[in-house]
Chains A and B, each alone.
Chain A
Amino acid sequence: MDSFALLLQGLSVAFDPMILLYALVGVTLGTAVGVLPGIGPALTVALLLPVTYGLDPAGSLIMFAGIYYGGMYGGSTTSILLNTPGESASIVTAIEGNKMARAGRAGPALATAAVGSFIAGLIATLLLAFLAPQVVKLALTLGPREYFALMVLAFVTVSATFGESALRGLTSLFIGLALACVGIDGLTGAARMTFGVPQLMDGIETTTLAVALFALGEAFAVAGLATPPDTLHAVKGRVSMSREDWSRSWKAWLRGTFIGFPIGSMPAGGADVASFLSYAAERKMAKRPEEFGHGAIEGVAGPEAANNAAAAGTLVPLLTLGLPTTATAAIMLAGFQQFGLQPGPLLFLTNAELVWGLIASLLIANVMLVVLNLPLIGLWIRLLSIPRPWLYAGILVFATLGTIGVNPSPVELGMLILFGFMGYGMRLYGFPVAPVVVGLILGPMAEQQLRRALAIAQGDWSTLVSTPVAAGLLAVSFLFLVGPILLRLIGRGRVLQELAGDSD
Chain B
Amino acid sequence: MIRQIEPERRPRWAALPIAAGMVGLAAVILWDAAGLKQDGGYAGVGPADVPRLIAWGLILLAAMVVVAGLRGDLPTPPRQAPAPVLWILGGLGLQLALLHSAGFILASGLLFGFTARGLGRKPLWLTVLVGIGLTFVIYGVFDRLLKLNLPGGPIERFIFGG
Contact = CB atoms under 8 A, between A and B. Distances in A.
Contact of B116 (A84, A195, A389, A405): A389
Contact of A459 (B5, B14, B42, B93): B42
Q: Chain A interface secondary structure, helix, strand, loop or mixed?
A: helix
B75 interface: yes
Interface residues of A, number: 75
Interface string A185-200: 1011010110100000
A165 B71 CA distance: 14
A104 to B, nearest CB: 24
Interface in B136-151: 138, 142, 146-151
B20 interface: no
Given A392-B119, A396-B91, A405 B149 contact: yes
Contact of B74 (A401, A410, A430, A500): A430
B119 to A, nearest CB: 4
A456 to B, nearest CB: 8
A459 B45 contact: yes
B68 A428 contact: no
A504 B77 CA distance: 21
B54 A394 contact: no
User: What's the interface size class on B, roughly?
Assistant: 35 or more
Interface string A385-429: 001111011101110110011001010011011001100110111
A494 to B, nearest CB: 11
Given A192-B32, A219-B115, A400-B111, A167 B149 contact: no
Interface string B1-31: 1110100000000100010001001101100
A417 to B, nearest CB: 5
Contacts of B39: 188, 190
Interface in A132-189: 164-165, 167-168, 170-171, 174-175, 177-178, 181, 185, 187-188
Given A193-B29, A459-B45, A174 B18 contact: no
Given A178-B25, A223-B118, A400-B108, A91 B127 contact: no
Interface in B120-155: 120-121, 127, 130-131, 134-135, 138, 142, 146-151
Given A53-B148, A223-B88, A389-B115, 15 more contacts: A165-B68, A170-B61, A171-B65, A175-B58, A187-B47, A221-B1, A392-B119, A393-B116, A397-B108, A397-B138, A400-B95, A430-B75, A452-B43, A455-B42, A459-B40
Q: Which 7 residue pairs of A and B lie closest in terms of their CB atoms, listed nearest first?
A: A459-B44, A223-B84, A389-B121, A428-B77, A454-B43, A455-B43, A389-B119
